Amino acid sequence: MRDWCLGCVIWVADRGFSSRANRKFLQQGGGAYIIGEKLRSGSAEAQAALSRQGRYKTVTGNLQVKEVWLPDVGDRFIICFNPDQAVRDAAVRAKMITALEAMTAGSDQLSVTRRAELRGRISTMPGPNRFLRVTPGGLLRTDKAKEKAEEKAEENLDGKYLLRSADPAMSAEDIAADYKQLLEVERGWRDMKSVLDLRPVYHRLEERIRAHVILCWLALLLVRVGENQAGQIWPALRRELQRIAIGTFTGPAGTFRQRTDIPRTALFPAACRPLAHASSLCFL
């Protein structure tokens, strides 16, 4: 914080970082945090936050937030709800059950060994395996009772995620918006490793390795600038730009070159995405 001349640091971390020890460590330097909480962990605090009544407030797009205060708990809890994501979650669950039924269809005619092999394959699929039931005779069935029970339980969680924050001043809207930036950071790492081929590094000298990393970072910066300017994700923008070509034409008046038109979708500027909050955000 001294090197960067920062007065406050807000750490943003995903659900795998939410232990009490980690939260305490992040506050040692006087900073705060925004951390995702696991909805299905059985945590008493998470269950208490989800059970509290209250109205959601629409913030950006279709994202809705609701702040919950728990007695004797120093942190703030923000419940975020996305109706579109709720529809997708229900569709994913239905798709898993459909896939399980398709895999077990006709399995009664299989030999005991082949049926055991199919049971082993399904056991490696966490989604469909949740709804699999094996009869006393070794037949494979879809557990309808568990399907209905889980559907009833999951309906209350579809499209929701829970945030925990130790910052007393930030609004619920800012907490939700800052946490969403974590997805952009993770997308940046994926693009660096896949689209831009940051790794593996074949250089031997340290200065060349540093130059390779800096060039990949600059390429990522140009990708994000292009996305903000055109309002499209990079794969779609790249497909448009790759259609640009230069043709050589020869006629009675001589030879000339002319490029194709730049696609309009790659030219029209769009509203740039907001950057970080006024305080500095560190993403884990």
Q: What is the pLDDT of residue 218?
A: 93
Q: Which of 105, 137, 154 is the last residue of a domain?
A: 154
How many folded domains does the chain comprise? 2
Model pLDDT for residues 54-73, shown as the tens digit of each residue: 888 888 778 899 998 887 77
Low-confidence ranges of the chain (pLDDT < 70): 1, 265-284
* Together in a domain, 56 and 165: yes
Write the CB contacts of 5 (distance below 8 Å, at least 6 apart in sequence).
Answer: none
Model pLDDT for residues 5-34, shown as the tens digit of each residue: 877 788 898 888 888 888 888 888 777 899
Residue 37 placed within a domain: yes
Write the CB contacts of 157 (distance below 8 Å, at least 6 apart in sequence).
Answer: 39, 40, 50, 89
Residues of the chain above pLDDT 70, percent: 92
Q: What is the pLDDT of residue 275?
A: 40
Contact 113, 198 (CB under 8 A): no
Q: What is the pLDDT of residue 273?
A: 43
Q: What is the pLDDT of residue 270?
A: 45
**Full residue range of the structural domain in which residue 100 is found:** 86-154
For 124, other C-beta atoms within 10 Å of its C-beta total 8
Q: What is the pLDDT of residue 261?
A: 84
Rounded distance, CA 98 to CA 119, Å? 16
Rounded distance, CA 103 to CA 99, Å? 6
Model pLDDT for residues 192-216, shown as the tens digit of each residue: 888 888 888 788 899 999 998 899 9
Rounded distance, CA 225 to CA 214, Å? 16
For 83, other C-beta atoms within 10 Å of its C-beta total 13
* Together in a domain, 98 and 134: yes
* Together in a domain, 146 and 169: no
